[in-house]
Each structure stands twice: as C-alpha cells, then as structure tokens.
Amino acid sequence: MYYRKHLFFCTNQRAEGAERPSCAQCGSPELRGWAKARLKELGLAGPGGVRANTAGCLDRCELGPVLAVYPDGVWYTYIDEDDLEEIIQRHVIGGEPVARLMLPDEPVA
C-alpha cells in the first residue's frame, strides 16, 4: 500500500445556528494540523507510512470531533493533543486501538 494508514479528520464546518454540530466547531482543523506535524516529527509521515487527511462530513457530528483510521476501520472522538498522542502511540504505532476514545460501530439511536 502507498500509505500504511490514513487518519481521516472530519473538518466540516456548518453555519451558525445549524441543527447539527460540526467537528470544526470543536477545533478539528487545528488538531488535524497538530497530528500531521506530530506524525512528521515521529518519522511516520509519507509514502509507506501514515497520512493525516482532511475529510468532509463523516456524518457522526453529534459524537465529534471525529477521526477515522483506515484500513483498520476504527472511528474515534478526541478532545485535545493528549488524546491524539494516545491514538498515535497506542494505535498507529502500537497497533492497539484506544477503547476509551472509540466510537460505537452501530449507529446511536
């Protein structure tokens, strides 16, 4: 594979007063930038490694901000750099998903 893993960060921004929240309201663009820089700092970025992608709406906004790790198919929510560091260290590097930050596989009713 060209990239071993893709980290898709929802950075969708809805208009003020929208019925649903959006991940950008939670700082996802800035946190994606932090993760991208951190992956590069750790020597993980680039071909054969990991890519931090910007994504449009991943349609799980009420649980956001949302990050999906592929090809693993693991979806996370996160609050800050500490959460992202844990995802990078434990999941991306160590191969162990971070259960406390994982979103449920099934839709929430």
* Domains, the chain, ordered by start: 5-101 (3.40.30.10)
Q: What are the mean pLDDT values of the chain's consecutive 10-residue runs (109 residues total)?
A: 95 87 91 98 97 93 91 97 98 98 81
Question: Can you give the pLDDT at residue 40?
Answer: 98
What pLDDT score was predicted for residue 109? 56
Look up the pTM and report it: 0.92
User: CB of 10 within 8 A of CB of 64?
Assistant: yes
Query: Tokens standing for 41?
Result: 């700092």
**Alpha carbon distances (Å) from 93 to 85, 96, 102, 105:** 10, 8, 17, 22
| Residue of 65, 82, 75, 84 lying closest to 22 (CA atoms) | 65
pLDDT at res. 97: 98
Supply the pLDDT for residue 46.
94
Instruction: Say how far apart CA 6 and CA 27 lie, in whole Å.
Output: 20
